[in-house]
Structure 1
């Protein structure tokens, strides 16, 4: 293969195409449900039809007699899962409480809870037999109405146990200090539940290779975390559980938790002694694998007449299930984004008879930003100030919550670049005054932030006989192009063409890495790639002898099948010869990288600002987002193409959040009416406007040695309020409940 040509000879920063792109577009990539195992059988789940109560009886006889059926498993005949008897560690994320124990007893906690699994030799036969299972219930009154139960919101248990928990009540300056301001605003904001609808449905193939050895091909975002969870459930050594997730067909957080359908498949595989494939239906995706929880928020804000914030109070109630406490950081941005001397936040959760929520892209922060950034826009309007100018007057040069300097912050550069690109100068201060025919035109903006997090990871690097380098780490790739970024980082570190580097991931037997979530993969795993490449060069340097003694690692290169020096073209050693000195074996290192102590001294965040241009039809209330500009301060941009795609994807996800997506519950039955992609609307091509992306692209080496800060979350945080604020600017109508559908504007 011809070596790739890179801009300026550097891989990092180049618009390199995805290393796995051809596999994906040709169908050669193998996803969790596509592995062909001998004697594979199929499983289909049966869900409850009540929201609360008990199973009085469950008749499986007809299903068991159906053609091709191998087993029908319920709480009556299910083998016991050893870990179900143990209490969950109260500090174990993402929830406090007892996760749903599938087929454990006769209790029903939510509508469509798995109550049986049917296993047959074909999917069609399993599906037919599942329809033959008949259940009688002892139903109890259920509570699924958020508004009717809002007063029951409570402080999360983790906050009660830990005074330093970010979920605790927070006051800076005077409690509710906004009340002393000459200009005040109080408003309530509601956000309906959003459901995870990636292209690939949740799927698993479970295979007991021996009574004490389990392999799963699973759609997850954390192969190591899944390995630990299943090992604990089944009382197995971790090394006896293997998790494979080489390709993941899109995920926004629902793969960060292990769900009942996975354990159901593992139970079915144990009962039948066959590999079992279980793929959720689209309807089951709405009930069994988490969602962004519905929230109610209240923001009270006070400012001086010249536009200086006096105080902000931000209250939030988020829903959770009756059996687990799910929490998120909905009020975090309010504590640190603006220079308000008095800030108070209150976070509560509300347990209902529904399934447990889970993180969804921009978890908590995206929801909280809708309320905060809408309120900022409303206050700017009250003060007759341009919303951009209002934000600039309250810009923070240090973190007011932690009282620490920022590691880096280039939000003002984002403001300037975005305003120029969207044509902010065309925005009218008086809403409803800019018009094109029947369409009202408006402009809005919203700011986002997310922690520049970094964890601990290991990477194995192997120099092979052909001069290529193999890298392995147990991370995953849910879509951002992880493998591509790691190859680019390694290419620059080794002075080697990207075509000579292979990065393997998604396998729990590889060196440990955290889940792909929280915008931290490049920060964490990329740092380990850099460290492993450095150690590999140092090992070669020792084999190379005097010609390379004393050279700094960044001066060593592996190009052209030779160990070389950037500073001395004459210094060369054949990699083949160096391999011979290593007893003819591949030269291999496994290296760990972890954060330093800079996190104790600096506050580390990525920042974004999103600008939206909208048109609202004056008669029908139809909203069209006609242009978006998304600007990010995310440190070093490893790949302009894949990073840009993340920002575009976040913008489109934010359009869905603002205008389309909202699950509707029929409280009579405690069941969602929006249960498929016909009734639950997600943005399609016609809803996606041109999205222009701008990156500051200045490194933050306090976060990690590559200088990256994370993009995935800030790509969506702030988009929904930008659109809501643009709609207000177009129409003069302030809508505080998402999604903003035409009926709310007529």
Structure 2
């Protein structure tokens, strides 16, 4: 079958297919669903960081107007999945997610200890303030620095010598220590909070005793469905999850959280639908965050700029009840040609809530240390940082000893350097000025696995020539639906306006969660397969039933603009719609699955980015202005230059926050955040964001998947923070190794 594309749909800057719905308010988010007989729930949070609940006085709350129930550990409906009877031969579980209202234990300040259900939100909020809790407080530990000696190798790595979080050595261990030219520095990233526009929310409704429907803010429709089915011990098909629109998510929607279980419990107790929406303050403690991390990098190099050794150590924060881990050290193992690499990863349990993956997961954290160290090493040997990276470019994965599926990082570097004006960068810091402002240039490289998972897509071709595609995937903002329409238009030979992509429901064929930069590669491949299957069905119909095409084989047909024709005689053609009408068919339907194959054992697959920053620093006040950012990516085929560019811009803005403004502050006397709203926790705003130029190499990776795509979501931010930090050093000569870089650290 010959591929014939409608107007080369892939690669066009097509407007978002759901854009009008979003800007007109027609798009419905989870908290906006209204069900008959709806009730409202409000959580009560702990005011201590560690201890137990001695007593719970709920009488005043229960007697308040409109209150239907006040639930806590002594009266909440029991969750069957909380009872874990591990077989003696099985290894003991390594912690577990917080179980809402399971017992009287308190693990962190702000932990949900009760939920109030009332007939209106205002009444629920009022009654929640009437709940009186007394505690038996224990001494808590929330200060990372004071407790860092308690860090340990994650249990999963202790049990499995081949676990990727185990200590890693290539060549000689800690070889930098005996080198003549070396650096050794420590880097710190504070706790950072996701803070998407849409608050975490859920509407829970038990349609029957064993049939649950939730309208939930989640990045994992099928994952959430499976989790709730397991928790409540009901058939998975009896759990329906709806997440049609998600108002931003950076990883906080990749986990099921206590507030979701609390809402489901409440709905079961009052036998009515329950809506629960977290407050902005609760978003800081109940749905994860980027964990506080300490890192140390030791590096050595030859005078002519060849890296001889890297040692990268990291400690990440976790909770006392669950071991959260991430790939902080992955980039160090495979990015540069050092013959000697050592990595060590540890986690530090504290009396705080569990972290979660935050855009760029551990790689964004690790890249801050690694890419800052690269800049420091280049400065020590007097080499341009771009040239230093070029000299240590890897043409083959040194960790796995495999060829890259594709790698165009050098092209991305050259592209970005030209557009930022890298040639203007002085190698001596503090020497370039613009009026009274110091000017500096910096760069940082990012990488993330070009992941792909198993996904299914249903495609229905109707007799009016339109196609409806369905998949359970969500869209957290990157324009997933738009990309899928473009992929379908390209592969089916149909105008995009005749294609609808329906998503965000567990009633549709399954897909992985939207996370880890894998959605377009996973779901897009299933769309590709479904479109090819539709073409095959059409080919069979005309070959069997149309005299003009009798005996024609699929490989002799072309498909374009809603018509199929013989390649040898293009004038002989018939529309998709007429093929169905002639056979008196209202529609034809296919469901296709796509999954990765053994290519992942033969190649190493990554996306790459490089970010260049120009900053201006006022020498008297320490004020930093990011004047320009240029981000370039090797992300395979770019399906939509507009939405892909939007992702890169969003990542750059997130990187500005990471570098200059974001970071929680905790009062360790109480284990309580001081920064718990958007007034005190400073996310970057329009005034912080400069002109951000985005460029793509745009060369396909057809080894990865049939559309040639690789992920963008993570590499959009990985490397931005060190680019800015390196630019600040180039402007001022001051190296700031603890984020965020605030004026007080420069004056």
TM-score w.r.t. the length of structure 1 is 0.97
TM-score w.r.t. the length of structure 2 is 0.97
- Report the secondary structure of 2:361's partner residue: coil
After superposition, the Cα gap between the structure-2 partners of 1:437 and 1:68, relative to the gap in structure 1 and judged at 3 Å, is: same
- Cα deviation, 1:126-156, whole Å, max 9, x if unaligned, reads 0000000000000000000000110111000
Q: Is the 8 A contact 1:87 1:98 kept in 2?
A: no
- Structure 1 residue 608 and structure 2 residue 609: aligned? yes
Report the count of equivalent residues: 737
Partner residue in 2 for 1:3? none
Cα distance in 1 between the residues matched to 2:715 and 2:668 = 34
Q: Is the 8 A contact 2:5 2:492 kept in 1?
A: no
- Report the secondary structure of 1:404's partner residue: coil
Partner residue in 2 for 1:325? 323
Cα distance in 2 between the residues matched to 1:622 and 1:89 = 59
Which structure 2 residue ranges, 5 or more long, are not aligned?
none
- Report the secondary structure of 2:570's partner residue: strand
User: How far is the alpha carbon of 1:177 from its aligned partner?
Assistant: 1.2
Q: Is the 8 A contact 2:6 2:561 kept in 1?
A: no
- Structure 1 residue 25 and structure 2 residue 13: aligned? no
Q: Is the 8 A contact 1:328 1:363 kept in 2?
A: yes
1:311 to 309, 325, 328: 309
Partner residue in 1 for 2:641? 640
- Report the secondary structure of 2:535's partner residue: helix
Partner residue in 1 for 2:489? 491
**Residues 255-266 of structure 1 aligned to structure 2 (within 5 Å):** 255-266=253-264
Q: Is the 8 A contact 1:220 1:255 kept in 2?
A: yes
After superposition, the Cα gap between the structure-2 partners of 1:552 and 1:376, relative to the gap in structure 1 and judged at 3 Å, is: farther
- Structure 1 residue 715 and structure 2 residue 716: aligned? yes
Q: Is the 8 A contact 2:463 2:578 kept in 1?
A: no
- Structure 1 residue 557 and structure 2 residue 559: aligned? yes
Cα distance in 2 between the residues matched to 1:582 and 1:71 = 59
User: How far is the alpha carbon of 1:578 from its aligned partner?
Assistant: 3.3
Q: Is the 8 A contact 2:6 2:495 kept in 1?
A: no
Of 40-49 and 6-15, more deviation after overlay is shown by 6-15
**Residues 386-401 of structure 1 aligned to structure 2 (within 5 Å):** 386-401=384-399
Q: Is the 8 A contact 2:557 2:564 kept in 1?
A: no
User: How far is the alpha carbon of 1:597 from its aligned partner?
Assistant: 1.3
**Residues 242-257 of structure 1 aligned to structure 2 (within 5 Å):** 242-257=240-255
Partner residue in 2 for 1:626? 627
Cα distance in 1 between the residues matched to 2:78 and 2:269 = 11
Q: Is the 8 A contact 1:460 1:473 kept in 2?
A: yes
1:224 to 219, 222, 229: 222
Q: Is the 8 A contact 2:39 2:120 kept in 1?
A: yes
Cα distance in 1 between the residues matched to 2:587 and 2:227 = 34
- Report the secondary structure of 1:282's partner residue: coil
Cα distance in 2 between the residues matched to 1:434 and 1:548 = 74
Partner residue in 2 for 1:511? 509
**Residues 436-455 of structure 1 aligned to structure 2 (within 5 Å):** 436-455=434-453
- RMSD of Structure 2 on Structure 1 (CA): 1.7
After superposition, the Cα gap between the structure-2 partners of 1:641 and 1:426, relative to the gap in structure 1 and judged at 3 Å, is: same
Cα distance in 1 between the residues matched to 2:224 and 2:486 = 28
Cα distance in 2 between the residues matched to 1:38 and 1:572 = 52
Q: Is the 8 A contact 2:539 2:554 kept in 1?
A: no
Cα distance in 2 between the residues matched to 1:16 and 1:629 = 22
Cα distance in 2 between the residues matched to 1:585 and 1:24 = 32
Q: Is the 8 A contact 2:6 2:494 kept in 1?
A: no
Partner residue in 2 for 1:673? 674
Cα distance in 1 between the residues matched to 2:216 and 2:173 = 48
After superposition, the Cα gap between the structure-2 partners of 1:589 and 1:147, relative to the gap in structure 1 and judged at 3 Å, is: same
Partner residue in 2 for 1:408? 406
Q: Is the 8 A contact 2:5 2:489 kept in 1?
A: no
Q: Is the 8 A contact 1:557 1:565 kept in 2?
A: no
Q: Is the 8 A contact 1:299 1:313 kept in 2?
A: yes
Partner residue in 2 for 1:283? 281
- Report the secondary structure of 1:291's partner residue: coil
- Cα deviation, 1:148-179, whole Å, max 9, x if unaligned, reads 11011100011112222110100000001112
